[in-house]
Amino acid sequence: MALSLYVHIPFCLKRCIYCDFVSGVYDPEKADAYIKALKSEISNIAGAGPFSTLYIGGGTPTALSASVLTDLINHIFSRFQFEDNYEATIEVNPGTIDKKKLQAIRSLGINRISIGIQSFNDRELAFLGRIHSSQEAEQAVYSARDAGFENIGTDLIYGIPGQDMVAWKKTLETTVMLKPEHISTYELTVEEGTALYKSLKSPLSSIKFEIFKEMLSEENIIEMYEHTIEYLSSHGYTHYEISNFALPGYQSRHNLNYWNRGEYHSAGLGAHSFIKGNRYCNTDNLEAYLRAFSENKSLVKESEYIAEDKVLSESLLLGLRKIVGINIESFSTRYKINVLSHYQNEIRELQEAGLIEIVSSGCSYETNLRLTRKGLLLSNEVFLKFMK
Ligand code: SF4
């Protein structure tokens, strides 16, 4: 089983209207203090490993200068051991990178880059509050290639108010033309606490009416998702998780470890770890994080031992996110239960509703439990059933 490390950088140049990640607007003084504390936290968990994957996410890690990033990445690689064929990803935002910064990152051992493109339509990018244009997003992919990245991921968003199929098709086509190894496509959701949520809830919001008017229907969203699957599959991308597609050999090993319920350590504001059956969550308050560092106190806000019944449902929910689903024999061996009899009522009802199916895994004597095409569209219904 893989072991992963996640490092969080909670700064962005500007907040996007839909964002509910742990991140604030970049401030050089706060960023300096944060990096100092983060390096100390990393030193305290040194000794863990060897790691198969590293993911530096945010926020926008590339909001930091090339020299600060260099120092941080060197610190990570000097404190931990990584397997020879490790995967190390950094998230970047077009508008915060140049060739020099990308070359520095690549030369330090980061071998995968995840670019937050979101859309190739300037109106949509402006609506989302992104700091970059579609042209800059395109340029970011070329610059990453020039800097030597052979494993490039791109994030896209569909279901943006005012977006139509023509615009979404264009975004997908432009992305495929750039030949990234990995494509993630997420439906825009309105999360509580975001600027988008507040605009929609406020009775005085002037943009509320405009947004509502342009909100997409469920049929539009389904049409976009189905087109995404057809289009990317017909261009060589394997659909391997509800929202993720990859060229052969380029599935995100870091995220697969989450979906396989593997262990991961983490460092940084609001970062989550999962070690020996326990889940830990750092404080997501920057002042509290910095204070804990200066007072030499614990950064952990919450910890939870995952009880047996939750382990099963959690593993099932995570595993079913993968298009192959879960291997029934491996799952039963790992958790010492027969999954088919343990969940026989739930599985029968979901099979009857056409949401899940049991299929041969490729080996004649093994079987997988997985979402059907209809189940992919209604995955939350399936997950709820196993959470009861
Ligand atoms: S760049 Fe990403 S993390 Fe930063 S505000 Fe936008 S969505 Fe949030």
Residue 24 falls inside a structural domain: yes
Residue 104 falls inside a structural domain: yes
Residue 99 falls inside a structural domain: yes
The percentage of residues in the chain with a pLDDT greater than 90, rounded to a whole number, is: 85
Greater model confidence, 374 or 216: 374
- From the alpha carbon of 15, which atom of ligand 1 is closest? 5
Residue 61 falls inside a structural domain: yes
Residue 298 falls inside a structural domain: no
Which pLDDT score, from 0 to 100, does residue 388 have?
A: 66
Same domain? 130 vs 204: yes
Domain holding 40: CATH number?
Answer: 3.20.20.70
pLDDT digit string, tens, across residues 169-227: 999 999 999 999 999 999 999 999 898 888 888 766 666 666 766 778 899 999 999 99
For the Cβ of 15 lying below 6 angstroms from any atom of ligand 1, the answer is yes
- Residue 335, classed as helix, strand or coil, is helix
Burial class (CB within 10 angstroms; exposed 0-12, middle 13-18, buried 19+) of 47:
exposed
Cα(24) to centroid of ligand 1, in Å? Answer: 9
For the Cβ of 97 lying below 6 angstroms from any atom of ligand 1, the answer is no
Same domain? 244 vs 127: yes
C-alpha span between 64 and 268 (Å, rounded): 15
> Among 228, 259, 290, which residue terminates a domain?
259
Which pLDDT score, from 0 to 100, does residue 366 have?
A: 78
Cα–Cα nearest to 348, from 377, 324, 325, 369: 369
For the Cβ of 19 lying below 6 angstroms from any atom of ligand 1, the answer is yes
Which pLDDT score, from 0 to 100, does residue 48 have?
A: 85
Residue 272 falls inside a structural domain: no
Which pLDDT score, from 0 to 100, does residue 212 have?
A: 67
C-alpha span between 258 and 33 (Å, rounded): 30
For the Cβ of 361 lying below 6 angstroms from any atom of ligand 1, the answer is no
- From the alpha carbon of 12, which atom of ligand 1 is closest? 4
Which pLDDT score, from 0 to 100, does residue 34 have?
A: 98
Total-model pTM: 0.95
Which pLDDT score, from 0 to 100, does residue 207 have?
A: 63
For the Cβ of 326 lying below 6 angstroms from any atom of ligand 1, the answer is no
For the Cβ of 2 lying below 6 angstroms from any atom of ligand 1, the answer is no
Q: How does residue 281 score in pLDDT terms, banded at 50, 70 and 90?
A: very high
Residue 194 falls inside a structural domain: yes
Same domain? 62 vs 166: yes
- From the alpha carbon of 129, which atom of ligand 1 is closest? 6
Residue nearest to atom 8 of ligand 1 (CA): 19
Which pLDDT score, from 0 to 100, does residue 307 have?
A: 83
Task: Provide the residue range defining the domain that includes 363.
Answer: 308-387
pLDDT digit string, tens, across residues 16-58: 999 999 999 999 999 999 999 999 999 998 778 899 999 999 9
C-alpha span between 263 and 4 (Å, rounded): 7
Greater model confidence, 197 or 247: 247
Same domain? 251 vs 378: no
Give the residue, out of 15, 157, 284, with the most ligand 1 atoms within 8 A of its beta carbon, to mutate for a pocket test.
Answer: 15
Same domain? 141 vs 18: yes
pLDDT digit string, tens, across residues 93-135: 999 999 999 999 999 999 999 999 999 999 999 999 999 999 9
Same domain? 237 vs 324: no
Cα(40) to centroid of ligand 1, in Å? Answer: 25
How far apart are the two ends of the chain, measured CA to CA in Å?
28
Same domain? 224 vs 320: no
Cα(16) to centroid of ligand 1, in Å? Answer: 5
Which pLDDT score, from 0 to 100, does residue 364 have?
A: 60
Our count of domains for the chain comes to: 2
> Among 259, 282, 297, which residue terminates a domain?
259
pLDDT digit string, tens, across residues 325-369: 999 999 999 999 999 999 999 999 999 999 999 998 766 677 999
Same domain? 231 vs 318: no
Same domain? 321 vs 208: no
Residue 281 falls inside a structural domain: no
The percentage of residues in the chain with a pLDDT greater than 70, rounded to a whole number, is: 96
For the Cβ of 153 lying below 6 angstroms from any atom of ligand 1, the answer is no
Q: How does residue 68 score in pLDDT terms, banded at 50, 70 and 90?
A: very high
Give the residue, out of 25, 55, 62, 93, with the most ligand 1 atoms within 8 A of its beta carbon, to mutate for a pocket test.
Answer: 93
What's the mean pLDDT when you consider all of the chain? 93
Domain holding 314: CATH number?
Answer: 1.10.10.10
Which pLDDT score, from 0 to 100, does residue 216 have?
A: 81
